[in-house]
Structure formats: C-alpha cells, structure tokens
Amino acid sequence: MDNVSLLRDSLDAISGLVTEATFEFSPSGLILKAIDPAVVAMTVLQMLPTCFTQYEVSSPVKITLNLDYFLEVLKRAKQSDKVIIELQSDKGNLKVAMTGNIKRNFVVSLLENPDKEQKVPIPEFVGEVVIDNDVMHEAVKDCQMVSDCATFKASPQSFTITATGDLNNVKHELTKDSPSLKSLTFKEEQVSKYSLEYLEKVIRGDKVAEVTKLQFKTNYLLEVEYRAKDKLSLTFILAPRVDND
Amino acid sequence: MDNVSLLRDSLDAISGLVTEATFEFSPSGLILKAIDPAVVAMTVLQMLPTCFTQYEVSSPVKITLNLDYFLEVLKRAKQSDKVIIELQSDKGNLKVAMTGNIKRNFVVSLLENPDKEQKVPIPEFVGEVVIDNDVMHEAVKDCQMVSDCATFKASPQSFTITATGDLNNVKHELTKDSPSLKSLTFKEEQVSKYSLEYLEKVIRGDKVAEVTKLQFKTNYLLEVEYRAKDKLSLTFILAPRVDND
Amino acid sequence: MDNVSLLRDSLDAISGLVTEATFEFSPSGLILKAIDPAVVAMTVLQMLPTCFTQYEVSSPVKITLNLDYFLEVLKRAKQSDKVIIELQSDKGNLKVAMTGNIKRNFVVSLLENPDKEQKVPIPEFVGEVVIDNDVMHEAVKDCQMVSDCATFKASPQSFTITATGDLNNVKHELTKDSPSLKSLTFKEEQVSKYSLEYLEKVIRGDKVAEVTKLQFKTNYLLEVEYRAKDKLSLTFILAPRVDND
C-alpha cells in the first residue's frame, strides 16, 4: 500500500462512531461493519483488493482492533512511506511497517473478536439525491448554529435541508438547476429529521469520494454513501429523529 | 451586497463589547450605537449606502438583533456568494439570503427595541495621532505581557505607548520620522491610561480601514477611529483608567 | 543582533526545563548552565561572540533572569528588527531594544543570582550516533503513542529507538545505509531507556543545528548535542530510566 489515505480516511469517519472494529479480510477484499453503542448509526466499509498496491489474503480471516490506535498509527505514515500491513496471527498482532528514509514498525495488538456478528439492516428507499460533498459540509455547519438536528426534504423538483431553532432558522435549497445537485430521483415528497451530531461525524467520510449519495424516506432511515469506483464503498445508515409531540 | 466583509468586520469588533445591537436604517445609510454593559466603551458605526451593491430603504426603521448570531450568519457567506439582507417586519425577522452554487436562507429573529436610545457623548480633544494599524496590534500584544493597562503619551514630537508591570516594563515609541506615524497634531503633552482588554477588542475593527486615528487627553476619553473614505466610519470611545493612589 | 533566532530557539528548548536561568557573559562569549528541578535533565548553552552582530562585554558578568518572560520578549522581535540587549546594572535590569518601523523597549528585571553555581557533570561515553533532526521528532511522536519512555539501542550496525506499551509497540530502525544516519561509532551494543516527556522538550533545541548528535551508554546518561559550527553548542544531558524489576 503506497498510499494509505483511502483506508485512513474511511476509518477516520468510522472512528467517530465506534472505538473497536472487526475487519473481515478475504481474497475478494475487506469488509468492516459497525454499529455505534447508542444504535443510532451503522456503517459498512467495503474495500476491493484494488485499493492496495498489493493484497495477499489466501483465506478469510477476521480480526478486531482498537480503531483509535490503529488509525493513529496510519496517520503517522508519511506520504512517501511504503506501508505494509501484515497479520502475525501467532503473535496475536498486526504489524504495520513503514519504510522511507528510516524503517518504522508499529505493532498493533489484536483484541478478541466479538461473539456475534453485526447485523446491518438493508433499508428500502424510494429515491436518492446525489450532491457535491461540500453541500453537506456547509449545511451541517449552518444548521448547527440553530439546532441539533436537521430536516431533509426531497421532492421531484428540489432537495432542502433546514434547521429550526427557538428564534432563528436556516434553510439550504438545491433545485434541479443547481450545479451542486448531480441527481434527484424522488417521485413523491419525503421529509425526515436526523441528528447533526451524527451527520457531522459521517461527512468526515467524504474524503474518499467525489460526491455524496443520500437516500431517505419520511420518518425513516437515512443512508449516506461514499463510493470510489472499482475501489471502495463507505456507507452510513442513520436512524431518524421522530418528534413525540 | 456582493461583499459582506465591511459589515462583518465592523460587527466583529463591536461584538466584543455588546451582545445585542440596535441598527437604524434610513435612506442615508445605517447607524449603530452601542455601549458596553460595564459602560467603559462606546461605539458608533456609520455605513453609507455606498457600502452595499444595492441599498433600498425608503423610510427609517430601527431593529434590534442578537449580534453574535447575526455575525455568525454573515461569517457563513462564501466570498462568491451574493448576499441579500431583507427585513420581514410582518414576520418579525430579518432574512439573510446567500446565493451561490446553492441557495441558503438564514432567518434572524428580531428582538425588542430598547426603550431608550443610546446617548453617545461627543468628546472634545486637543490633538490626534494617526498610525499604521499594526502599531496598535504590536503595542497591545507587547503591553499585555506585563500589565492589563497601557499608558498613551503624546507630545508635539512623539507618541509613546508604555506598560509597567511589577518587575518588567515595555515601551513603544514613535517619533516624527517614524514611517508608521502618519500624523501627530498635539501641541502639549497629554498622558492617559486605558484598559488593554478593551483595546484588544477595539483593534479588531482595523480591518475596515488602512490607518488608525487616535484622539485622547490627559485622564480623559480615548477615541479610536477607523474610516473607509466615502463608505463608513467605525468609532470607539474608551473611558480612561484613573489611578486612585 | 540582527537575527535573534539562535538565542531565542536555544532558550525556547531550555525554558522547557527551567523557569529561571543564570547567564554568564564574558569577552569570549555567553554560557548558560541549568538543571531542571527534578534533576533529570541538565543543559549547557555556549554562544560565541560570532552569534551576535556586535558583542561588547569587557569583563565577566553573571545575571539571572526569568527565562519565560525574557523568551516572550525575544519572540516579539520581528524579522526585520534590529535587537540590542543592554545590561543596566545600576537599574537592576536588562534593556531589550527593538528598532524597525517603530522603536520598542522592553525592560527585563534582573533576579538575584543563586548562591551556588550549577555543576554539570562531564559524562564519559563509548560511542556516538549522528542523525537527521526529523528522525528524533518522528521517533518521539511515534513512541509517545504507546509509552512514556523510549529505549535507545546502538550497535556497530544499527541504531534503534523502541517503545513498548501494554498492548502495542513501536520500533524505529536506522542501519548503516539509511540516508538519515550520518555517523555511528559504537563498537559494542549499548541499551538505555529515557523519558519521552523530557526528550520532547530537548528536541525543541534542534532548530539551531542541522543534525542531532546522541551519545549514551547502557543504563547511563544520554547526551543530546546541537552545534552550529563556530557559533554555538547546545547540550542536554538526560538521566536514564532504570527499571527496578
């Protein structure tokens, strides 16, 4: 792996939700599924072997790591370093070797795999909207000025993100002719509300992709997907905020 | 208003002194007067219609806003955004629309106007000194190393800012031949002391002007004026620190 | 002194260890010796008159200063300022004058000289290793991820820095062919452990030199030396961490 940024940037977003993660390596690539302790957000990362300069996994293996430390190690790689990640099953650890002007080895201890596998639901949606990454960044920052949640509303003509505070409110609107709106396939209006605290963590994943794909339904889950073609997909699923009044 | 920086930078300095502010819009421009709760500092902002790409005010109107939130909204404008500020009297709010790649609306709630108008005194001075903005910045930082107040001293020949601590002291001196001294009109020596905490806030206003104009008198008020010709003036008046010993 | 950076950068590293320091000025230059309160680290700074544009000391003089404040003053110098440091023995202070666009004077009060002189031991070593400055920076940061101390190991062929945590560990290795290893003169293997907290402070001194010279011996002192040829040497001596088990 000459360039660790895809793995590092994906894990950086995921580390906002969980502190430990189980990686499933197989000949066809790497899968990571995680659910945050509050069960508000789920994430699935899939990386194809093409994400790595070299990828040698002969049989499936599942390992659990402290995500924060593993990520901290990956962040220590310099751009010019060649990075080799090697499972040392017998020693119960993962060796991360970085070679540049000097040779550095980081040993990351394996944790016990959890007893049960994470079951990530497969949501059903009725439309999607694809937008530039920075729209979500601006919208989350703007909305956080007045509230802790944002309302997503999609119609056949427009996609809006609004937040309403006690005194003030904020509205982002993208219409069919906005250059930042890449695709909009909703046939009927859908409205749902999501936590800005979680959205703020999720959008850290957008470094791996050029656009953000959003799917949602009234008072239902939101799926945020980042995709690097033929390389990886990083998906987050957020529970809606449903008002009790 | 294609460029919100004049308004934003002026309000940024004023927001160091007050949290709410009353804006008086009239066909001849905008006036804001404010006095900080401790009654140590007063400020007057006057902006001519020329500060705005378009300025449409048919009759005088006075509105009071939470300055911090209004400023936060203005800071969210991107350089390329077109910003329209519109009073929606019937709805009791101000609408700030930013249009660029996407369309964003911020609704800023109006607060109740205060019962009585701010009376800002018209001080009388005996001389003025005009200096480069960065002189004040350096002087405030230097003086803060040893004290919480600075002594301003002007004479026909020189202008000095000094601070004296328990152990150490600091002195800034500008003489007639200093390139950073643009003008000095004092006929007699004047000495007065001002709070560095307030000065630190006041000098944030210097972004709107190229030079800083100071007027003061022994144990009397200090007036700091920032002026953008044919556009705006931003004035701060500080009470002196008078030693009781 | 047109450029205060040598003095400022040396004192910046030293200020991590002590808050007061005694400077010995003599016609042949400046010497500063200091021992940190916990007696884990010692430092010796020697600056030749060549470090200064002009250096006028007719007879030896010893002064003690609050290092933090003196350093803060030096940091206020702008690159283009001419800086003059003048001892005003009669007034019990040091005057630091900075002249550029404006004239600034800082008066730094002298403290009482300590009764007894700092005795810095002259350690005996059996080999040295010279490396690029950034190797130490990276090693210290990497090792701090897993522990509060680092193990230095030198052999005729290689120099390694390792840190071992409860779960994870880190290893930096430089061999004879590493471009960042400039010199290695150990004839036998030496292994010793040092505090990362102190190393982090010491390496701030590397701004004054192009390379870092390290000398150490098994369970013995470490000497870190930064040298600017014909100008200054800045040396730190660290006590080893010896395990009691």
Residues of B in contact with C69 (CB under 8 A): 145, 167-168
Distance CA C229, CA C232 (A): 7
Residues of A in contact with C141 (CB under 8 A): 76
Regarding whether A233 and A181 lie in a shared domain, the answer is yes
pLDDT confidence band for B7 (50 / 70 / 90): very high
The residue whose two tokens read 């808050």 is C19
Question: Smallest Cα–Cα separation from B100: which of A158, A174, A131, A155?
Answer: A174
In the prediction, which pLDDT does A244 show? 63
C102 vs B168, B170, B174: nearest CB: B174
In the prediction, which pLDDT does B242 show? 85
Does B113 or C191 have the greater pLDDT score? C191
Percent of chain B with pLDDT over 70: 98
Question: Is residue A145 in some structural domain?
Answer: yes
Q: Is the pLDDT of residue B243 over 80?
A: no
Average pLDDT over residues B63-77: 95
C102 vs B135, B141, B167: nearest CB: B135
Domain end (from B51, B79, B109)? B109
B106 vs A135, A170, A178: nearest CB: A170
Distance CA A192, CA A177 (A): 23
Residues of A in contact with C171 (CB under 8 A): 104-107
Q: Which helix (H) or strand (E) holds A183?
A: strand A181-184
Cβ contact B178–C72 (<8 Å): no
Regarding whether C154 and C82 lie in a shared domain, the answer is no
Cβ contact C138–A106 (<8 Å): no
Domain end (from C109, C139, C171)? C109
Q: Is the pLDDT of residue B228 over 90?
A: yes
Name residues 8-67 of chain B within 8 A of A (Cβ). Answer: 66
Percent of chain A with pLDDT over 90: 89
C-alpha distances (whole Å) from B232 to each of B4, B117, B209, C80, C146 are: 13, 21, 9, 34, 57
Range of the domain at B133: 128-220
b/e burial code for range B103-141 (CB count within 10 A of at least 16 → b): bbbbbbbbeeeeeeeeeeeeeebebbbbbbbebbbbbbe
Cβ contact C167–A76 (<8 Å): no
C109: which 2 tokens? 């009060």
Distance CA C192, CA C242 (A): 8
Q: Nearest-CA residue of chain C relative to A93?
A: C168
In the prediction, which pLDDT does B133 show? 96
Distance CA C218, CA B158 (A): 64
Q: Is the pLDDT of residue B1 over 70?
A: no
C31: which 2 tokens? 């010497």
Question: Is residue C219 in some structural domain?
Answer: no
Residues of B in contact with A141 (CB under 8 A): 76
In the prediction, which pLDDT does C244 show? 64
Question: Is residue C243 in some structural domain?
Answer: no
Q: What is the distance of C-alpha C54 from the center of its chain?
A: 24
Distance CA C158, CA C174 (A): 6
Which three-class secondary structure state does DSSP give residue C45? strand
pLDDT confidence band for A136 (50 / 70 / 90): very high
Regarding whether A148 and A104 lie in a shared domain, the answer is no
Q: pLDDT tens digits, residue range A29-84? A: 999 999 999 999 999 999 999 999 999 999 999 999 999 999 999 999 998 899 99
In the prediction, which pLDDT does A242 show? 85
Average pLDDT score over chain B? 94
Cβ contact C132–A106 (<8 Å): no
Q: Nearest-CA residue of chain A relative to B103?
A: A173
CA gyration radius for chain C? 20
| Domains of chain C: total | 2
Tell me which of A64, A65, A102 to substitute to probe the interface with C (most C C-beta atoms closer than 10 Å): A102
Q: Is the pLDDT of residue A124 over 70?
A: yes
Tell me the shortest Cα–Cα distance from A237 to chain C, in angstroms. 32
Regarding whether B214 and B160 lie in a shared domain, the answer is yes
Q: Is the pLDDT of residue B68 over 60?
A: yes
Average pLDDT over residues A193-202: 97
Tell me which of C168, C174, C178, C211 to substitute to probe the interface with A (most A C-beta atoms closer than 10 Å): C168
Angle at C197 between CA C129 and CA C149, to 5 degrees: 65
Residues of C in contact with B178 (CB under 8 A): 101-103
Regarding whether C150 and C86 lie in a shared domain, the answer is no
B178 vs C93, C102, C107: nearest CB: C102
Backbone phi, psi, residue B140, to 5°: -60, -45
A170: which 2 tokens? 């904020």
Regarding whether A81 and A15 lie in a shared domain, the answer is yes
Is-contact A95 A104, C-beta < 8 A? no
Question: Is residue C221 in some structural domain?
Answer: no
The tens-digit pLDDT sequence of chain C (245 residues) is 547 999 999 999 999 999 999 999 999 999 999 999 999 999 999 999 999 999 999 999 999 999 999 999 999 999 889 999 999 989 999 999 999 888 999 999 999 998 887 788 899 999 999 999 999 999 999 999 999 999 999 999 999 999 999 889 999 999 999 999 999 999 999 999 999 999 999 999 999 999 999 999 999 999 999 999 999 999 999 999 987 65
Question: Is residue B233 in some structural domain?
Answer: no
Touching partners of C (3+ C-beta pairs < 8 Å): A, B
Touching partners of B (3+ C-beta pairs < 8 Å): A, C
CB pairs under 8 A between A and B: 49
Residues of C in contact with B143 (CB under 8 A): none
Is-contact C72 C42, C-beta < 8 A? no
Touching partners of A (3+ C-beta pairs < 8 Å): B, C
Name residues 107-146 of chain B within 8 A of C (Cβ). Answer: 132, 135, 138, 141-142, 145
Q: At CB < 8 A and 24+ separation, what contacts does C75-81 make?
A: C75/C8, C76/B138, C76/B141, C76/B142, C76/B145, C76/C104, C76/C106, C77/C4, C77/C8, C79/C3
Question: Smallest Cα–Cα separation from C15: which of C54, C92, C73, C62?
Answer: C73
Residues of C in contact with B169 (CB under 8 A): 106-107
Domain end (from B80, B109, B138)? B109
Cβ contact B105–A132 (<8 Å): no
CATH of the domain at A197: 3.70.10.10
CB pairs under 8 A between A and C: 49
Regarding whether B71 and B143 lie in a shared domain, the answer is no
To the nearest 5 percent, what fractions of chain C are helix, strand and coil?
20, 40, 35
Q: What is the distance of C-alpha C227 from the center of its chain?
A: 10
Distance CA C158, CA C162 (A): 13
Average pLDDT over residues B140-160: 97
Cβ contact A138–B73 (<8 Å): no
Cβ contact B101–A172 (<8 Å): no
Question: CB of B86 within 8 Å of any CB in chain C?
Answer: no
Q: Which helix (H) or strand (E) holds A32?
A: strand A29-35
Cβ contact A104–C173 (<8 Å): yes
Task: Please write down the HEC assignment for all residues of B88-116.
Answer: EHHHCEEEEEEECCCEEEEEEECECCCCC
Tell me which of A167, A169, A181 to substitute to probe the interface with B (most B C-beta atoms closer than 10 Å): A167
**What single DSSP character describes residue A239?**
P
Question: Smallest Cα–Cα separation from C179: which of A78, A77, A100?
Answer: A100
User: How high is the ipTM of this complex?
Assistant: 0.87
Sheet-wide strand order for A93-99: A82-88, A93-99, A103-109, C169-175, C158-164, C149-154, C190-195
Name residues 175-204 of chain C within 8 A of A (Cβ). Answer: 175, 178-180
Q: Is the pLDDT of residue A3 over 80?
A: no
Question: Is residue B192 in some structural domain?
Answer: yes
Q: Is the pLDDT of residue B224 over 90?
A: yes
Tell me the shortest Cα–Cα distance from A105 to chain C, in angstroms. 5
Which three-class secondary structure state does DSSP give residue B118? coil
Regarding whether A82 and A162 lie in a shared domain, the answer is no
Regarding whether A231 and A163 lie in a shared domain, the answer is yes
In the prediction, which pLDDT does B245 show? 53
**Residues forming beta bridges with residue A163, ordered by sequence position:** A170
Which three-class secondary structure state does DSSP give residue B26? strand
The CB density around residue B27, as the number of other CB atoms within 10 Å, is 11
Average pLDDT over residues A104-132: 91
In the prediction, which pLDDT does C109 show? 95
Question: Is residue C237 in some structural domain?
Answer: no
Residues of A in contact with B69 (CB under 8 A): 145, 167-168
Q: Nearest-CA residue of chain B relative to C74?
A: B142
Residues of C in contact with A76 (CB under 8 A): 138, 141-142, 145
- Give A198-233 as a DSSP string: HHHHHGGGGGG-SEEEEEE-TTS-EEEEEEETTTEE
Tell me which of C161, C167, C174 to substitute to probe the interface with A (most A C-beta atoms closer than 10 Å): C167
- Identify the sign of the CA torsion B117, B118, B119, B125: negative
C-alpha distances (whole Å) from A111 to each of A69, A74, A92 are: 12, 18, 8
Question: Minimum mean pLDDT among A227-236, B41-50, B224-233, C118-127: which range?
Answer: C118-127
Regarding whether C39 and C72 lie in a shared domain, the answer is yes
Question: Is residue B114 in some structural domain?
Answer: no
In the prediction, which pLDDT does C116 show? 81
Tell me which of B64, B93, B102, B111 to substitute to probe the interface with A (most A C-beta atoms closer than 10 Å): B102
Tell me the shortest Cα–Cα distance from A88 to chain C, in angstroms. 13
Regarding whether B135 and B105 lie in a shared domain, the answer is no
Cβ contact C109–B135 (<8 Å): no
C231: which 2 tokens? 């100008």
Regarding whether B202 and B132 lie in a shared domain, the answer is yes
Q: pLDDT tens digits, residue range A160-177? A: 999 999 889 999 999 999
Cβ contact A102–C172 (<8 Å): yes
Distance CA B8, CA B11 (A): 5
Backbone phi, psi, residue C178, to 5°: -70, 130
Q: pLDDT tens digits, residue range A17-37? A: 999 999 999 999 999 999 999
Average pLDDT over residues B86-103: 93
